[in-house]
Amino acid sequence: MSGHSSIAPAQIRPATPADAEAVAAIYAHHVLHGTATFEIEPPEAAEIAARMAKVRAAGLPWLIAQDADGVVLGYAYAGAFHARAAYGRTCEDAIYIAHDRLGQGVGKALLAALLEACAAAGQRQMIALIAGTEPASIALHLRAGFVEAGRLASVGRKHGRWLDVVYMQRALGVGDTTAPENEPA
Ligand SMILES: CC(C)(COP(=O)(O)OP(=O)(O)OC[C@H]1O[C@@H](n2cnc3c(N)ncnc32)[C@H](O)[C@@H]1OP(=O)(O)O)[C@@H](O)C(=O)NCCC(=O)NCCS
């Protein structure tokens, strides 16, 4: 009796290594068929698990959206925007929804939860690199309060096309209005 018209809100929870297979399957579709990621070879589950461990080690969130039956619908995480130390309060997001569950509000719910979790982790700015200027991703980020912060022309080449990257940015929590906690003197 689960009609397609009734969409229950996604449940959002932190990822565990057991999610690596489902995450790899979702991501593989976007790697092979889309331009939102500039990866061309889908990474295996072990590589996804390693990426999850790196995010966790950086004290950043990796979130899973699942339906009432526990089926993974999508995921979102934040990584360091740049390795250099002074970038430490600036993160970069990534969000991927299962190709058969796009446009059902899952991305919106995941991004809202990710923004909250990153602010709680002491992050002050989030950057989104919208590879291939994906319209759905630009819409998602604009709705979540991001503004466009720049564009790199023709920096990607995939599926026979030159692709731009749009930078978007949003402050987290109190942003730059106060100094961060625990700042070394
Ligand atoms: C971008 C993506 C994460 C958005 O998630 P989603 O679950 O499909 O989007 P939602 O249903 O939550 O929609 C979020 C907002 O974007 C808008 N939107 C969604 N798809 C859209 C589209 N194709 N064109 C224009 N706007 C769109 C929605 O209308 C919604 O705004 P609203 O609440 O004002 O109506 C998802 O489409 C995706 O995985 N795309 C491929 C990978 C990708 O681009 N990832 C981003 C890399 S950072």
Q: Is 76 in the pocket of ligand 1 (CB under 6 A)?
A: no
State CA 124 to chain mean position distance.
16
Model pTM?
Answer: 0.95
Q: Choose one of 64, 75, 91, 97 to mutate for the ligand 1 pocket test, by most ligand atoms within 8 angstroms of C-beta.
A: 97
Pocket of ligand 1 contains residue 107 by CB under 6 Å: yes
Partners of 148 in beta bridges: 168
Ligand 1 within 6 A of CB of 61: no
Q: What is the pLDDT, as a whole number, of residue 185? A: 74
Structure tokens at 102: 């796009």
> Per DSSP, what are the bridge partners of residue 165?
131, 152
Quote the pLDDT of residue 120: 97
Domains of the chain, residue spans: 11-171
List per-block mean pLDDT (blocks of 10 residues) for the chain, which spans 185 residues: 55 98 98 97 98 97 97 98 96 98 97 98 98 95 98 97 98 96 78
Fold of 11-171: Aminopeptidase (3.40.630)
Structure tokens at 68: 């009432």
Residue 27, Cβ neighbours under 10 Å: how many? 20
- Which pLDDT value is given to residue 184? 73
Whole-number pLDDT of residue 7: 64
Task: Decide whether any atom of ligand 1 lies within 6 Å of the 132 Cβ.
Answer: no
Q: How far is residue 9's CA from residue 171's CA, in Å, rounded to a whole number?
A: 26
pLDDT for the residue numbered 181: 83
Measured at the CA of 114, the angle between CA 154 and CA 74, to 5 degrees, comes to 75
pLDDT of residue 177: 97
- Residue burial 130-169, b: 16+ Cβ < 10 Å; e: rest: bbbebeebbebbeebebeeeeeeeeebebeeeebebbbbb
Contact 31, 48 (CB under 8 A): no
Collapsing DSSP to helix, strand or coil, 24 comes out as helix
